[in-house]
């Protein structure tokens, strides 16, 4: 196996998981960039590659374009990239999200070891690359929010943030209006995350348009309306990566 990930801690964690859960799997080489990853693949001709998406000199997709057709099994690793995940699912390409779950890694490796159809994999990878090169960005549009006595038709881009309150969700608007509806926040996650929103915490989703500061020491985001929203430990790394890419 070759592990290609620009984060040394991530590669170290993968090695530790393999020692504990996949003792028969050997890491023959590592890469921390597109170029070093290509070199490792060409030199060691691995049976399996764990490939990160974002790296300093490009992406895992750039690496694939330069190495196809592939003769190895492939598992993508991603911290957060919504469109990529949807493309993986659509094209039946295996992937893991960070932080990597040991059981999921073991299952993915076992599944890869039982698959011998590299020709079909290359067809799916070709389609994946084509899809990824032309992502469809959804229109921001409007959303209908129904309260007990009113139906609100609001511009999505004017929503500053959403906050969960058990089975209710409060929408805080740019004009300081607050709309409370009797639906849980999880019903809006997919819709909003496709439209420049980010879930900082299981109870909070913010519109990145209104993000003004991220206080790393306190792990708090400050929005344009002055609200301070906590960032969960699990989402902190994803937020940091997202901010670096803006």
Three-state helix/strand/coil letters over the chain:
CEEECCCHHHHHHHHHHHHHHCCCCCCCEEECCHHHHHHHHHHHCCCEEEEECEECCEEHHHHHHHHCCCCCEEEEEECCCHHHHHHHHHCCCCEEECCCCHHHHHHHHHHHHCCCCHHHHHHHHHHHHHHHHCCCCCCCCEEEEECCCCEEEEEHHHEEEEEEECCEEEEEECCCCEEEECCCHHHCHHHHHCCCEEEEECCEEEEHHHEEEEECCCCEEEECCCCEEECCHHHHHHHHHHHHHC
142-245 placed in CATH 2.60.40.1150: no
Tell me what percent of the residues of the chain surpass a pLDDT of 70: 91
Q: 74 forms bridges with which residues in the sheet?
A: 49
Structure confidence at residue 137 as a pLDDT band (50, 70, 90): low
**Domain segments of the chain: what residues?**
2-133, 142-245
* Contact assessment for residue 26 and residue 1, using Cβ atoms and an 8 Å cutoff: yes
| Mean pLDDT of all residues in 35-52 | 95
Fold of the domain built from segment(s) 2-133: Rossmann fold (3.40.50)
Is residue 200 within 8 Å of residue 219, measured between CB atoms? no
Q: Of all residues in the chain, what percent carry a pLDDT higher than 90?
A: 62
pLDDT (tens digit per residue) in 67-105? 999 999 999 998 766 556 767 876 778 888 888 899 999
pLDDT at 216: 93
Residue 67's pLDDT is 93
**Given this model, what pLDDT does residue 172 score?**
98
pLDDT value of residue 116: 64
Q: What is the mean pLDDT of the chain?
A: 89
Contact indicator for 217, 230 with CB cutoff of 8 Å = no
With 80 as the cut, is the pLDDT of residue 146 above it?
yes
């Amino acid at each position: 196996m070759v592990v290609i990930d620009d984060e040394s801690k991530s590669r170290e964690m993968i090695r530790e998981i393999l020692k504990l859960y996949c003792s028969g799997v050997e890491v023959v080489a590592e890469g921390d960039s597109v170029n070093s990853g290509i070199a490792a693949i060409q030199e060691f001709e691995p049976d399996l590659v764990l490939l990160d998406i974002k790296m300093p000199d490009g992406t895992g997709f750039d690496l694939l374009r330069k190495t196809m057709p592939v003769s190895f099994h492939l598992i993508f690793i991603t911290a957060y990239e919504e469109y990529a995940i949807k493309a993986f699912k659509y094209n039946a390409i295996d992937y893991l999200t960070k932080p990597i779950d040991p059981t999921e890694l073991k299952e993915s490796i076992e599944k890869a070891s039982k698959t011998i159809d590299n020709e079909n994999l290359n067809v799916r990878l070709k389609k994946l690359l084509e899809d990824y090169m032309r992502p469809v960005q959804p229109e921001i549009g409007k959303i209908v929010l129904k309260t007990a006595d009113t139906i609100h038709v609001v511009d999505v881009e004017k929503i500053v943030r959403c906050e969960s309150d058990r089975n209710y969700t409060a929408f805080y608007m740019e004009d300081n209006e607050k709309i409370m509806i009797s639906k849980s926040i999880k019903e809006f996650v997919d819709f909003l995350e496709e439209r420049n929103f980010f879930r900082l915490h299981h109870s909070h989703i913010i519109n990145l348009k209104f993000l003004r500061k991220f206080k790393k020491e306190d792990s708090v985001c400050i929005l344009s309306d002055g609200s301070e929203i906590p960032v969960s430990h699990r989402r902190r790394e994803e937020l940091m990566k997202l901010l670096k890419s803006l």
